[in-house]
Structure 1
Amino acid sequence: MHHETTEWTPPKKDGDATGEPPREVRRILRIFRPYRGRLAVVGLLVGASSLVSVASPFLLREILDVAIPDRRTGLLSLLALGLILIAVVSSVFNVLQTYLSTTVGQRVMHDLRTDVYAKLQRMPLAFFTRTRTGEVQSRIANDIGGMQATVTSTATSLVSNLTGVVATVAAMLALDWRLTVASLLLLPFFVWISRRVGRERKRITTQRQAQMAAMSALVTESLSVSGILLGRTMGRADSLTRHFADESERLVGLEVRSHMAGRWRMSTIGIVMGAIPALLYWTAGMLVHMGGPGLSIGTLVAFVTLQQGLLRPTVSLLSTGVEMQTSLALFQRIFEYLDLPVDIEEPASPVRLERVRGEVRFEQVDFAYHGKDAPATLHGIDLTVPEGTSLALVGVTGSGKTTLGHLVPRLYDVTGGRVTLDGVDVRDLDFDTLARAVGVVSQETYLFHASVADNLRFAKPDATREELHDAARAAQIHDHIAALPDGYDTLVGERGHRFSGGEKQRLALARTILRDPPVLILDEATSALDTRTERAVQQAVDALSAGRTTLTIAHRLSTVRDADQIVVLDAGRIAERGTHAELLAAGGRYAALVRRDARVAAAAPARSGAAQATLPGSATGAGPATAQDDSQADAPVH
């Protein structure tokens, strides 16, 4: 039931030593399984269309050998009308099968996109700390988008062309088996060429998609608001442009190679197939010359017409095989994400708590980012936070404060011991209970490119305007929002860059207040506020914390003095614990930090009329860009 944190490694590609279809092919067929009914209808339409089309040469033979020579105008009119009717019926069938196949293909792409997105939503936080955002976006947009032609038309093309080839060959055999053998002598050579071209394109496609992912990551990082600010202030705009141009140049080469791979060889097939009618005329003449049974003009024209009709589906069928091999590279990249191990799973029989009191316990907790055998970040943490009380976690950067806080909402799972909520291991709780019970306000505030109201309603979608106003008032941000030209309908901008760091953190606090959780994790929640605003927000936090269990991760000692218990972490271990007064009286690490803060505050120029007390090694700036994220310090560098 419990899962250890493990490092993801790409799944091994399936060799096919058993002679069975490759694993990827079987998985692709399973993707289409829910739509087998519609695909069956498509197959019937395609087969019917192919059979109807094959009838045209036989009508043509009758026109040339019977209707015209015998001057049977009535028969000629019926045969000509039959040719027109065949064209109409074939067109109707083609439109219907195109609609059905396109609908099925788009539904399959929708399923793939949704499955990949849902899988990524379940991935642990560690996955996203080591994966570039652009790479994730490329898998969903470029890779699945690149499969559009495959999933919308390949199946139909395969059935259509295969049926067409079989029906045409059968009709050719019915007309003359000798000419049929002469026409098909080179077919094995054509199949061999198409398989070689397919393998080459598959290899190039894998490289092309990786290059597209690299470009997507570069665009995502460098053209975000933060990326633009960094690039311009560092004078790197030109170098970033050159870097993008180099990456784009590599993509140009791969695109050209992808489109030209095997092009000459496939063209050779078309040239040979186009030259076969000359071979057929020559063969027919030689049969007559050698005294064999002759062929009527109508039969010969009908046969050549069939052979020319065989050219398109044969070349298309070979090209479809090439495209299917190429698309396997895209499917493999998607399957890599779908096969990612999910370290944090909801248990098979989850515990659901209708009412959460809020008692949190850490029982001999150990944690390492890469499993039990990796260097540990936390060692033997044994803590109890009674319901309705407050715990403050302090310590220098990298001591494990944020990591410990992340264990409560199961952003990570412990590698030893356990974390409990109301006596139940958090790994045994259902995700909904955990999400309702634990609210997190982190140092790194994230806001969507949406209105203020929509950002707040992310915590409670059915919240009324009055509830939004009450939450914003509690977070000391309502007056500022009301003063904006569009009020609560104001767009916050990409990642909230229209607001200052302090305003963003107050919005994040309001969002959590709106959710009303019984357990609060405040991870440097006031780090970006000036002293005056911090005091105002701290009053709101104190009011919100009343009757709730609160874990505060802080550098600023001013935010933790009134905590029921203070724990000093050092290198992932508890160094001291007690109240503010008790720890000062003990004269240990906490007292030393307080004395050092006093010296720093006395030496530093006043900010907003008051000095800000911070722990050694912490950020002292007022904006989010200067406030160091403890979670990044705690986590290993990827």
Structure 2
Amino acid sequence: MHPDHEAPWSAPADAKEQPRQVRRILRLFRPYRGRLAIVGLLVGAASLVSVATPFLLKEILDVAIPQGRTGLLSLLALGMILSAVLTSVFGVLQTLISTTVGQRVMHDLRTAVYGRLQRMSLAFFTRTRTGEVQSRIANDIGGMQATVTSTATSLVSNFTSVVATIVAMVALDWRLTVVSLLLLPVFVWISRRVGNERRKITTQRQKQMAAMAATVTESLSVSGILLGRTMGRSDSLTKSFAEESEELVDLEVRSNMAGRWRMAVITIVMAALPAVIYWTAGMALQLGGPEVSIGTIVAFVSLQQGLFRPAVSLLSTGVQIQTSLALFQRIFEYLDLPIDITERADPVRLDRVKGEVRFEDVSFGYDDKGGAVLDGIDLTVPAGGSLAIVGPTGAGKSTLGYLVPRLYDVTGGRVTLDGVDVRDLDFDTLARAVGVVSQETYLFHASVADNLRFAKPDATDEELYQAAKAAQIHDHIASLPDGYDTVVGERGHRFSGGEKQRLAIARTILRDPPVLILDEATSALDTRTEAAVQDAIDALSANRTTLTIAHRLSTVRGADQIVVLDSGRAVELGTHEELLERHGRYAALVRRDAQLEPTR
């Protein structure tokens, strides 16, 4: 079974945090306070109309029927029918508005979380399971739907009904009202205990759901299925998933049964109260107490029964709200994540980018505890020039390249584009200026044309064709039954590794950036295809600044400069010929490639 993969910032809300959370939740509804005011008016009107019915009933029993006043009887009966009609109409309108508001709040939350995550650095996603992120958006926000769409309105509606009913009960007979409300404080205390218990269980349940979502995302993807089948782990993965599901079953049962017996006692006592009222009224009459009319008793019991439903619902709503606090807490954790890749308040915008890239005493580390991934890097790539970054695995090659488009931010020194610190540039300028073809090509489950147009949404068909031709992939796409309308499949698994790589190159060509970052861009290609794509890259790189991150040195020999990284430091810099003459690290890497060449 997977361990708990909660991020280190996750912490359950304690009692002191609850008021702050409630205020924060209420702020979510602030943009819709006009509509909520209408809901409040409808709730108030419905409550007033509903409590009028017992008074009409009292008049029927005490006046209209005993005195034979048929006209008054008809009018009172009509009033009761009208009360039911108005209550129903108000209820439908209230539900429509409150559900609309709730769904808008859900939309705001989903969009806020998604937007927040879009602004996180690459480091966040390298340490967080994809299923965990998906679970926060799908399961946690989805689990709050009842709270934001109906619970809030139910709370107001039931509270108003309870208050209006109690006032009406006091107006009928204050002594019977005291008898009816004696146990109310006990009921409130029980419901709070149940709510706290369910909130703790809900936190555990959502964590387990996140773990299951991560398992499903990883093991039921195309890559996960391939790995599981080829490693003979399908049965063990199924067993592991069954264990996680079994734990979720236990948490779901505990969540639903938490305090169920205590709430059942409340229900039984509330249902027995009418009998207590009849007994109290009868005993008072027998003992010579004040006489209570039959109409008053029936009307009072009717009000009491009317109080029963909203009172129990109000207590249950309180339990639901406390349970929902656990879900809101998990969402607020994501909304409160510190964003380490931010745009300045007054960013620099470059209308035309030449493409000079400088690394000035650049250092980088993923966190304060780990060692430096890069240390003291000083490099200059003139506009239109090319730099190849080579070195052993783990030397920091990809990290250095990713500092230019700000997938990471330097922890020391600075990276400049045309003399401007990339941290001072606006995001749009940086996105237009720097194109990245990464080692792992990602394609959406959409058509080939849609995947290419992700780089340039308004691209014409002819522009797609030209980009694909430059990447040596047009002929293959044209040969497919649906051509550019062919759906690539999840993560592009309908295409070979080399074909996906060429599609990614075509996508970058279409974007036409002045600066190119090629991170092992030809690593998945065979020798023949690599040569063809390399020709396309060479043509594309003309008059553009190109940083090529390479493990295979055959692709970088023509670079203007080659820098060799080792343990995060630049240990050699020069052309291919110059570095060979030094008989240093680069020469050793070339000899390694020569030894590996026959096995390819």
TM-score computed with the length of structure 2 as normaliser: 0.98
> Aligned match of 2:229 in 228, 232, 235?
232
Whether the 8 Å CA contact 1:57–1:305 is kept in 2: the answer is yes
Whether the 8 Å CA contact 1:57–1:303 is kept in 2: the answer is yes
**CA offset digits 1:327-380 (Å, max 9, x no partner):** 000000000000001111011111100100000000001111104x63101110
Whether the 8 Å CA contact 1:14–1:22 is kept in 2: the answer is no
Cross-structure match for 2:547: 551
Map 1:28-427 → 2, pairs under 5 A: 28-371=25-368, 374-427=370-423
Q: Offset at 1:9? A: 4.1
Whether the 8 Å CA contact 1:459–1:511 is kept in 2: the answer is yes
CA distance in structure 2 between the aligned counterparts of 1:336 and 1:28, rounded to whole angstroms: 13
Map 1:401-550 → 2, pairs under 5 A: 401-550=397-546
Q: Offset at 1:12? A: 5.8
CA distance in structure 2 between the aligned counterparts of 1:571 and 1:287, rounded to whole angstroms: 92
Whether the 8 Å CA contact 1:484–1:490 is kept in 2: the answer is yes
CA distance in structure 2 between the aligned counterparts of 1:289 and 1:596, rounded to whole angstroms: 108
SS of equivalent residue, structure 2 residue 29: helix
CA distance in structure 1 between the aligned counterparts of 2:589 and 2:252, rounded to whole angstroms: 59
**CA offset digits 1:562-589 (Å, max 9, x no partner):** 1001111111111111111111122222
Whether the 8 Å CA contact 2:552–2:593 is kept in 1: the answer is no
Amino acid at match of 2:346: S
CA distance in structure 2 between the aligned counterparts of 1:585 and 1:121, rounded to whole angstroms: 46
Q: Offset at 1:13? A: 5.8
Greater CA drift, 534-543 or 287-296: 287-296
Greater CA drift, 585-594 or 402-411: 585-594
CA distance in structure 1 between the aligned counterparts of 2:75 and 2:26, rounded to whole angstroms: 44
Q: Offset at 1:15? A: 5.2
Amino acid at match of 1:496: G
Whether the 8 Å CA contact 1:8–1:340 is kept in 2: the answer is no
Q: Offset at 1:14? A: 5.9
SS of equivalent residue, structure 1 residue 53: helix
CA distance in structure 2 between the aligned counterparts of 1:218 and 1:555, rounded to whole angstroms: 32
**CA offset digits 1:139-195 (Å, max 9, x no partner):** 000000001110001111111111111111111101101000000000000000000
Q: Offset at 1:590? A: 1.3
Q: Do the aligned partners of residues 435 and 563 (structure 1) sit closer, same or farther apart at CA in structure 2, a change above 3 Å counting?
A: same
SS of equivalent residue, structure 1 residue 461: coil
CA distance in structure 1 between the aligned counterparts of 2:192 and 2:409, rounded to whole angstroms: 47
**CA offset digits 1:477-506 (Å, max 9, x no partner):** 000000000000000001000000000000
Runs of at least 5 residues in structure 1 that lack an aligned partner in the other structure: 1-6, 608-638
SS of equivalent residue, structure 1 residue 22: helix
**CA offset digits 1:6-43 (Å, max 9, x no partner):** x97416666566xx962110110000000000001001
Whether the 8 Å CA contact 1:366–1:376 is kept in 2: the answer is yes
Q: Offset at 1:287? A: 1.5
Cross-structure match for 1:10: 9
Q: CA RMSD in A?
A: 1.3
Whether the 8 Å CA contact 1:47–1:159 is kept in 2: the answer is no
CA distance in structure 2 between the aligned counterparts of 1:165 and 1:598, rounded to whole angstroms: 85
CA distance in structure 2 between the aligned counterparts of 1:196 and 1:527, rounded to whole angstroms: 60
Cross-structure match for 2:573: 577
CA distance in structure 2 between the aligned counterparts of 1:596 and 1:57, rounded to whole angstroms: 94
Amino acid at match of 1:358: G
Amino acid at match of 2:217: T
CA distance in structure 2 between the aligned counterparts of 1:598 and 1:374, rounded to whole angstroms: 35
Cross-structure match for 2:3: none
CA distance in structure 2 between the aligned counterparts of 1:280 and 1:521, rounded to whole angstroms: 82
Amino acid at match of 1:509: I
Amino acid at match of 1:483: S
CA distance in structure 1 between the aligned counterparts of 2:284 and 2:584, rounded to whole angstroms: 109
Cross-structure match for 1:26: 23
* 1:587 maps to 2:583: yes
CA distance in structure 2 between the aligned counterparts of 1:578 and 1:253, rounded to whole angstroms: 64
Whether the 8 Å CA contact 1:365–1:381 is kept in 2: the answer is yes
Amino acid at match of 2:265: T
SS of equivalent residue, structure 1 residue 459: coil
Whether the 8 Å CA contact 2:12–2:203 is kept in 1: the answer is no
CA distance in structure 1 between the aligned counterparts of 2:567 and 2:82, rounded to whole angstroms: 84
SS of equivalent residue, structure 2 residue 435: strand
Q: Offset at 1:113? A: 0.3
Whether the 8 Å CA contact 2:13–2:329 is kept in 1: the answer is no
Q: Which runs of 4+ in 1 moved over 3 A?
A: 11-17
CA distance in structure 1 between the aligned counterparts of 2:266 and 2:591, rounded to whole angstroms: 85
Q: Do the aligned partners of residues 351 and 419 (structure 1) sit closer, same or farther apart at CA in structure 2, a change above 3 Å counting?
A: same
Whether the 8 Å CA contact 1:439–1:521 is kept in 2: the answer is yes
Q: Offset at 1:555? A: 1.2
Amino acid at match of 1:488: Y
Q: Do the aligned partners of residues 220 and 15 (structure 1) sit closer, same or farther apart at CA in structure 2, a change above 3 Å counting?
A: closer
Q: Offset at 1:594? A: 1.8
TM-score computed with the length of structure 1 as normaliser: 0.92
Whether the 8 Å CA contact 1:101–1:152 is kept in 2: the answer is yes
SS of equivalent residue, structure 2 residue 532: helix
Whether the 8 Å CA contact 1:116–1:140 is kept in 2: the answer is yes
